[in-house]
A and B are shown apart, each in its own frame.
Chain A
Amino acid sequence: MVATNEPRAAATNGASADKAAITGTWAVKTGLAQMLKGGVIMDVVTPEQAKIAEEAGACAVMALERVPSDIRKDGGVARMSDPEMITGIIAAVTIPVMAKARIGHFVEAQVLEALGVDYIDESEVLTPADESHHIDKQQFKVPFVCGCRNLGEALRRISEGAAMIRTKGEAGTGNVVEAVRHMRTLWDDIRRIQNMPEDELFSAAKELSAPYDLVKYVHDHGKLPVVNFSAGGIATPADAALMMQLGAEGNFVGSGIFKSENPEKMARAIVKATTHFRDANILAEVSRGTGDAMKGLEISAIPENEILSKRGW
């Protein structure tokens, strides 16, 4: 299980000089996220849905037992999905399969790695298992994606070993407002660090509660050292293109597809909108006749303790 990793906080695309084949490196972990860019990762709960997603052009699927809107409705403790259901989905498609582990639940992550999932989402959509510590993701060969609301949170996750980031949004609402807030906040933070004189980066690192090396990387490059997708509330092709224009490199769509009136059509339309996110003519064409989007929730109507994006730190 132990992976060869770049040293903590040295999140460059550095290549080692070893001649023999090595697995589980930072380059192959972050590299898979590079391959997903410009694509849509769809939540699916059955092998049949996974096939529909693949056929529609999804670049990966997220295998889970209940989509976030049902988790929200059902309440109770939300955990890692049944391995049988995950292996059923792995067998059904040839695209990468992701699955969710609870925040801090490193044994769920060990199980998912053993099942052969291609990416683990340490996700606030499930009920956290640890209120102080996220998973030490450096210890795994399988790569992880984690959620963030701002730059500090993103860099803390990367220092723990996350090879991909997604802004959190508010999952299961079909309301894009939180996704927009988090993406704008992240880019505001990045621009602020980028424009900062170098001698102020030390206290910026302290203020962000993030390692200095990663803060310096953001200052020098004007972006995160890993791929960043959007998530949490995307329900229409226009939502997907909005997030891309705001700086996402791809989209996670959860309840938005299989809780819509015509999932197949909606899935295809969101894939096209993510590719052609700047072409308003194509967006107008793909937005036509997709059927009703999921109903959606007003964020202010959600009780404070049911806001998922506040989980994690």
Chain B
Amino acid sequence: MTSTPTIGVLALQGDFAEHIAMLRELGVATAEIRVPSQLAAIDALIIPGGESTTITRLLDIYELREPIRRLGLDGLPIWGTCAGAIVLAKQATDLDRPNLALMDIDVRRNAFGRQVDSFEEDIAIEGIDGPRFHAVFIRAPGIERAGAAVRVLAALDDGTIVAAQEGRLLATSFHPELTGDSRFHALLVSLAKVYQAERGQTSK
């Protein structure tokens, strides 16, 4: 009965192609999102890594910000990786333009320093079974505050939160799309299936 969900990937700038390659391995349908009309058919959205200033600028120019925000408020699962997490957050330091402000987290841009401080580390993630997750942090943001309804999925030894979930919203400071480990993508697909089933009921 249920067809496979369609996962949209915001394709304004950044490593959207890597997300799409990971999703294809999981056997779900994918859609590159560049203009608002493409949002109608999706069951979840990924906001990829890239430059958060560039992505937020292009969200406004192509009038994508409000439609995505509305879908997020209505329960569309959305996952932001790195720059995507900055785009999702209620508050982002040093971001001088409006973002989606959907998720109850405060994010510090470039929390770990400049490119020479970018790093890789194996981390444990709550709710993801199996071996530790190999996480790549590139000029990464850190989550400085998580609201009461936000579940912290992973933090570094110094306490910096690097993965969090609030309902169907996911934020990661690192890039699961770069390491070939599809466990985070599978988590999003499971959220997309729930949303897809709800959509099916309301449209009847």
Count of inter-chain pairs, beta carbons less than 8 A: 134
Q: Is A137 an interface residue (CB 8 A)?
A: no
Residue with the greatest number of chain B CB neighbours at <10 A, chosen from A13, A15, A96, A276: A15
Interface size class of A (residues with CB under 8 A): 35 or more
Does the CB pair B50–A35 fall under 8 Å?
Answer: yes
Closest to B48 in A: A35
Choice from B13, B115, B180 contacting A59 with Cβ under 8 Å: B13
B residues 6-52 in Cβ contact with A at 8 Å? 11-18, 34, 49-51
Does the CB pair B82–A35 fall under 8 Å?
Answer: yes
Q: Is B58 an interface residue (CB 8 A)?
A: yes
A35 and B136 in contact, given A15-B120, A28-B118, A94-B94 (Cβ under 8 angstroms): no
Note all chain B residues with C-beta closer than 8 A to A159. none
A residues 90-147 in Cβ contact with B at 8 Å? 94-96, 113, 116-119, 141-143
Closest to A55 in B: B57
Does the CB pair B121–A95 fall under 8 Å?
Answer: no
Closest to B117 in A: A23
Note all chain A residues with C-beta closer than 8 A to B51. 35-36, 39, 59-60, 95-96
Query: What is the interface of chain B, defined by CB distance below 8 A to chain A?
Result: 11-18, 34, 49-51, 53-54, 57-58, 61, 82-83, 94-95, 109-110, 114-122, 132, 134, 136-139, 175, 178-180
What are 24 contact pairs spanning A and B, CB under 8 A?
A15-B120, A15-B180, A18-B120, A19-B122, A23-B117, A23-B119, A25-B119, A25-B120, A27-B136, A28-B119, A28-B120, A34-B178, A35-B49, A36-B50, A38-B16, A39-B14, A39-B50, A54-B53, A57-B58, A59-B51, A113-B116, A142-B116, A271-B58, A276-B34
Does the CB pair B178–A37 fall under 8 Å?
Answer: no
Note all chain B residues with C-beta closer than 8 A to A60. 51
Closest to B177 in A: A34
Does the CB pair B57–A31 fall under 8 Å?
Answer: no
Q: How far is the CA of A55 from the CA of B58 in the complex (A)?
A: 11
Q: How far is the CA of A51 from the CA of B167 in the complex (A)?
A: 37
